[in-house]
Chain A
């Protein structure tokens, strides 16, 4: 399934997501574009230095984004895992990666990524979605523009509605 972009367009999904390992220092990182878990990257980042353009790091919902070292912020892709769609920690993690750490690369949602959560994910700064395989693309594209406006400050629109309301 292709990656859905926040614009509603789709692009080929070139990334292989490597699962979390009990022994991150010894996890074998295959060639090609790979998303590895934060712990594996921390353990192996010196060896992976030369592959910077094809390595991305994913965070699980119990990971602390504050742990991301400065080097991680120059990676082309970071990802937030939603182990189940009802685990809302990923929304805070995404905002922290964007707003606190200032990451400007691509931010992917992976895991249990469903149509009805996309709008909020997008507002929290996620710009690419690896939808669960049973999700319908047309419904997903429509969901990206569910609401015409929103009340709160968000990554997408830092000014809350009350700073933008017509007088």
Chain B
């Protein structure tokens, strides 16, 4: 992964000093709350329902073992001993004290971490595929480009006060998309043109929130060296012309929709023509410099790995076999596998980890995966480089930690925001719904029979739980001060991205397990052959589900 040089380190130390000064001025009354607000947000600090919340950036999801240990220590020393992985590959502390935040940021800076631009109306963390660099599906490792974007977007002088927040995601797989790039402000699909040159298909104006939209392609092929100047052009058009009169209409998707994607693209191209050959243009040398940081670790050859023992264990032990089938992913290097550790254990809010678990993850990635780990947008973590002959040991080690629930990709591997238990924006609690569903659908055989289903829960229409793109989406709504839940069906976040359709009137929390059960029964009754839930929904439409769910005696 990327390691700082002296300049990177100095810049991040300068940031800590800057925020310490700003916090002092706020606490002494020199800096009014309204003016401190965007400054603290751009360092990840929210003031939440019960306490401040601090969001720490994990660039495109990559963490090292010293970073994990530092997060564990911070959660012990400054918080209540746990942290929460988010749907954008970041991590949050829910209980820090405002006056401690500069010290926390200083501790993070020592391990090359920060809270820079994890909130506020600026360019946020760039996200990508959690299997980047290890999947044989990709045409190139997207992480060097994410790092290049990270550096370009960090303290960009022109784009710190955009109309609204701005999220970029990169995908390098032609046939799959684990980064949900079509629902980002900018989605970059890495491609090769007919001449074999590397570049990006550029999509703009996707997003969730109140106005869920799939992004539009504004350029079919952007050569890789033009990446940064083209991003500058898009951001400049948005900064100048995006709406600032209404925060619900301020995202770039509204501008793209209002102008039309073609007219928007023309504006970007016109701007870009002025700057494409400026010194801001990326260089081969820089791409090469960054790529060195993402070179392959010292893999053994497949002959050095006892894969036969692994295959034997897989056959002999059904539980291990189930886990391998579900939670272990093929690796581009023979003899290796990528392992997803699920943070979706019954009774634990999705994405939550204790300090002890963070320390354990640090040791696990040192022992099994070259000291690195990735956070996924489904709020799980991945050990990306595990030898197959060590999978059984790893499985044995993670079972008591609660990381081996073999439910990856199934109904109970839910995405869920912190909801009304923690977040001051939420209309409704989301975690109790997730827990009730996990309790109701705890039969693994049934879950396996249902196959892949994304169930996503958001506590409000800001959509941090990505409910629009869940095959089943649940949205917390407020009806006269009471918490209700609206269900949508048919959303998807991959290459076939789609926004879910609302099923009908919303439900009380205690009705939710029964509602989901009826939806699942409809699928089971109607499916043909190997159809997934999404396939069946796309074939039969929403009505059969609606009829069953709203039939009497609910």
Contacts and interface: CB of A to CB of B under 8 A. Distances in A.
B160 A88 contact: yes
Interface residues on A, range: 35 or more
Contacts of B285: 162
A161 B239 contact: no
Nearest to B236: A92
A165 B5 contact: yes
Given A87-B161, A88-B159, A120-B157, A163 B283 contact: yes
A147 B385 CA distance: 37
Interface in A122-167: 123-124, 136, 139, 142, 146-154, 158-163, 165-166
A154 B157 contact: yes
B266 interface: no
A89 B7 CA distance: 29
A95 interface: yes
A95 to B, nearest CB: 6
Contacts of B14: 146-148
B244 interface: yes
A123 B228 CA distance: 18
B121 A151 contact: no
Given A153-B279, A162-B289, A116 B22 contact: yes
Given A116-B39, A136-B30, A147-B11, A153 B278 contact: yes
B444 interface: no
Interface in B250-288: 274, 278-280, 282-283, 285-286
Contacts of B21: 139, 142
Interface in A96-130: 100, 114, 116-117, 119-121, 123-124
Interface string B225-246: 0001000000010011000100
Contact of A152 (B157, B162, B244, B283): B157
B160 A149 contact: no
A151 B18 CA distance: 17
Contact of A91 (B35, B161, B278): B161
Given A88-B239, A162-B289, A124 B283 contact: no
Interface in A21-44: none
Contacts of B158: 88, 91-92, 95, 120, 124
B15 to A, nearest CB: 8
> How big is chain B's contact interface, by range?
35 or more
B25 A89 contact: no
Contacts of A92: 158, 236, 239-240
Contact of B274 (A100, A153, A161): A100
Contact of B279 (A86, A119, A139, A163): A163
B38 A86 contact: yes
A162 B35 contact: no
A55 B207 CA distance: 46
**Which of B25, B39, B162, B280 is packed against the most chain A CB atoms within 10 Å?**
B280
Contact of B161 (A88, A136, A147): A88
A138 to B, nearest CB: 11
B370 interface: no
A31 to B, nearest CB: 35
Interface string B144-167: 000000011011111111110000
A121 B154 CA distance: 16
Contacts of B31: 116
Given A149-B10, A162-B282, A123 B157 contact: yes
A147 B239 contact: no
Nearest to A163: B279
Contacts of B35: 85, 114, 116
B155 A87 contact: no
A161 B151 contact: yes
B280 A88 contact: no
A166 B14 CA distance: 19
Contacts of A152: 152, 155-157, 280
Contact of B152 (A123, A151, A158): A151
A40 to B, nearest CB: 22
Contacts of B5: 165-166
Among B158, B239, B274, the most chain A Cβ lie within 10 Å of the Cβ of B158
Nearest to B39: A116
Interface string B1-13: 0000101001100
Contacts of B240: 89, 92-93
B154 A87 contact: no
A6 B157 CA distance: 15
A135 to B, nearest CB: 9
A159 B279 contact: yes
A159 B286 CA distance: 13
A139 B18 CA distance: 11
B155 A151 contact: yes
Contact of B18 (A146, A162, A166): A146
A142 B155 CA distance: 17
Contacts of B7: 148-149, 161, 165-166
Nearest to A88: B161
Contacts of A151: 11, 151-152, 154-156
B278 to A, nearest CB: 7
Nearest to B162: A88
Given A89-B239, A92-B236, A146-B18, A158 B279 contact: yes
B23 to A, nearest CB: 12
20 contacts: A88-B162, A92-B158, A92-B239, A100-B274, A117-B160, A117-B161, A120-B158, A123-B157, A146-B14, A147-B155, A148-B7, A148-B14, A150-B11, A153-B278, A154-B157, A160-B280, A161-B151, A162-B282, A165-B7, A166-B7
5 tightest A-B CB contacts, nearest first: A88-B161, A123-B157, A153-B280, A162-B286, A120-B157
Given A92-B240, A136-B30, A139-B25, 8 more contacts: A91-B158, A120-B155, A147-B18, A151-B155, A153-B278, A161-B7, A162-B289, A163-B283
Interface of A: 85-89, 91-93, 95, 100, 114, 116-117, 119-121, 123-124, 136, 139, 142, 146-154, 158-163, 165-166
